[in-house]
Amino acid sequence: MKVTTKGQVTIPPEIRERLSIHPGTDVEFAVEGNAVRLVPARRGQVRGKRVVERLRGRATVRMTTDEIMALTRGR
């Protein structure tokens, strides 16, 4: 099996079926020494992690958490 120029590999159908991996299934890679394991992603954590990573460093207002909380609570 070869890795494409985009870093992709095809998971053989028998493995996808056995592990119930379908289009849209979130997976993670676990590095163990010189080996890599493909594991199902923990539901919910992957999406949240992606959102946080995408938004990290984009804030333009320099406010403390307490200042933001005061604004949202109308104080």
Look at residue 44 in the predicted model and tell me its pLDDT: 61
pLDDT given for residue 28 in this prediction: 85
Residues in CB range of 15: below 8 A, 6 or more apart: 21
pLDDT band at 61 (very low <50, low <70, confident <90, very high): confident
**pLDDT for the residue numbered 56:** 86
pLDDT at 34 over 70: yes
pTM: 0.48
Cα dihedral 1→31→55→3 (10° resolution): -10
Pair 25, 38: CB distance under 8 Å: no
Per-residue pLDDT at 48 exceeds 90: no
Q: CA–CA separation, 9 vs 64, rounded Å?
A: 44
